[in-house]
Amino acid sequence: MKQTAILGAGVMGETLLSGLVRAGRRVDQLLVGEKRNERAQELEERYGVAVVGNADAAAKADTVALVVKPQDMADLLDEIAPSLRAGQLLVSLAAGITTGFIESRVPDGVAVVRVMPNTPALVDEGMAAVSPGSHCSEEQLAEAESLMSSVGRVVRIPERQQDAVTAISGSGPAYIFFVVESMIEAGVHLGLPRATATELVIQTLVGSAKMLRETGTHPTVLREQVTSPGGTTASALRELEVHRVRAAFLAAMESARDRSRELAEGD
């Protein structure tokens, strides 16, 4: 019976855990390692999953998902390294942490896959990008992909693109929620009840996302279809350009990419 351990069960760890359970993974094939006792207890009660020590989980599992903050990764690896053996697979979901960083801290022959997931995995609409480390077999990479495909889509990318991916899809949901918040506030400023503004914005987002996915039409064309000559949309879009929103998105994502690079240094 193949065992999968999840070490670090905060927002992303629980997202992965819940997705695996929804996808039909038996709870007796799952182990969780979590530092905070009250959190560990909560997860045991919610999912019926066994929460054990990190070293114990690492020794028993075939696949170990590392879902702690980048700043906590070195300590976690020091703790579990003596329990690991060649042939096991480590799947890191941490921003910035390279496969080389992990490989240099665990026994030879332990395979590493770096993944950048995102929180829509909570509703099985996640986007994950996976990159193999230096000695990861096709079968092990497929195992990491299958872990993530239980909660959404998966793409394979070269590891050098991981910091950019982190800036786009890893952090991406936060930008979208920020836009949604801003539009709801604008609706309230324009005199709409908050509940009405919220419903209008969320359905507009869902409908627009569905159009992008289902028509396959380029976003520029879809935007042009909404923009009547001399109309309301053109007027609004001119304001967004005047306020340099496009440039702000570029600067924001460059900043996220650079921060991802820094996290590897432990800052």
Ligand X SMILES: NC(=O)C1=CN([C@@H]2O[C@H](COP(=O)(O)OP(=O)(O)OC[C@H]3O[C@@H](n4cnc5c(N)ncnc54)[C@H](O)[C@@H]3O)[C@@H](O)[C@H]2O)C=CC1
Ligand Y SMILES: O=C(O)[C@@H]1CCC=N1
Q: Interface with ligand X by CB under 6 A: which residues? A: 7-13, 33-36, 39, 54, 67-70, 72, 75-76, 93-95, 116-119, 170
148 in a labelled binding site? no
Beta carbon nearer to ligand Y, 175 or 192: 175
95 binds ligand Y (CB under 6 A): yes
| Residue 116: CB minimum distance to ligand X, A | 6
Token reading at 119: 């929180």
Look at residue 172 and give the partner it binds from ligand Y, ligand X, none, a contact being a CB closer than 5 to 8 Å depending on partner kind: none
Stretch that binds ligand Y, among 75-83, 150-158, 164-172, 193-201 (CB under 6 A): 164-172
Closest residue to ligand Y in the complex (CB): 170
148 binds ligand Y (CB under 6 A): no
Position among 90, 130, 171, 187 found at the interface with ligand Y (CB under 6 A): 171
* CA distances, 236 to each of 179, 190, 209, 223, 241 (Å): 14, 14, 20, 12, 9
SS3 of 84, please?
coil
Beta carbon nearer to ligand Y, 89 or 129: 129
Q: Which residues contact 87 (CB under 8 A, 6 or more apart)?
A: 109, 110, 111
Long-range contacts of 249-258 (CB under 8 A, 24+ apart): 249/175, 252/175, 253/164, 253/167, 253/168, 254/167, 255/167, 256/166, 256/167, 256/170, 256/171, 257/163, 257/164, 257/166, 257/167, 258/163
15 binds ligand Y (CB under 6 A): no
Look at residue 244 and give the partner it binds from ligand Y, ligand X, none, a contact being a CB closer than 5 to 8 Å depending on partner kind: none
Cβ neighbour number for residue 155 with a 10 Å cutoff: 15
Q: Which residues bind ligand Y (CB under 6 A)?
A: 95, 166, 170-171
